[in-house]
């Protein structure tokens, strides 16, 4: 009888450990993805601000850039600034 209880206890403990490992792995993956997104967004902010510098425009603040979606930054703002720079360089 005691061995049956011990087996049940061990099975529960193993399940708890497995769940803890699964959660920890998911958290690590989420942090890695978040860091990658942050790096990409930071590069895009830098690109926008560099283009604004080249065009002698006022730099957008980080707050202003944060308020825009990635699509707005990438497709509209950065592309528009690149086109302006190309036109200026002729």
Distance CA 27, CA 32 (A): 9
3-class DSSP assignment, residue 27: helix
Q: Do 75 and 45 contact (CB within 8 A), yes or no?
A: no
Q: Do 41 and 70 contact (CB within 8 A), yes or no?
A: yes
Read off the pLDDT band of 1 (50, 70, 90): low
Handedness of CA 35, 64, 62, 74 (dihedral sign): positive
Q: Could you tell me which residues come within 8 angstroms of residue 49 by beta carbon, excluding any fewer than 6 positions away?
A: 59, 60
Average pLDDT score over residue span 56-63 = 92
- pLDDT at residue 34 in the model: 96
Instruction: Indicate if the pLDDT at residue 90 is higher than 80.
Output: no
pLDDT tens digit string along 3-47? 899 999 999 999 999 999 999 999 999 999 999 999 999 999 998
């Amino acid at each position: 009888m005691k061995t049956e209880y011990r087996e049940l206890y061990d099975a529960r403990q193993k399940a708890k450990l497995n769940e803890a490992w699964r959660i920890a792995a998911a958290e690590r993956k989420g942090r890695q993805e978040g860091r990658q997104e942050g790096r990409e967004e930071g590069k895009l902010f830098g690109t926008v601000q560099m283009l604004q510098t080249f065009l002698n425009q006022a730099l957008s603040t980080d707050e202003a850039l944060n308020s825009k979606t990635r699509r707005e930054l990438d497709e509209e703002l950065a592309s528009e600034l690149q086109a302006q720079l190309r036109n200026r360089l002729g």
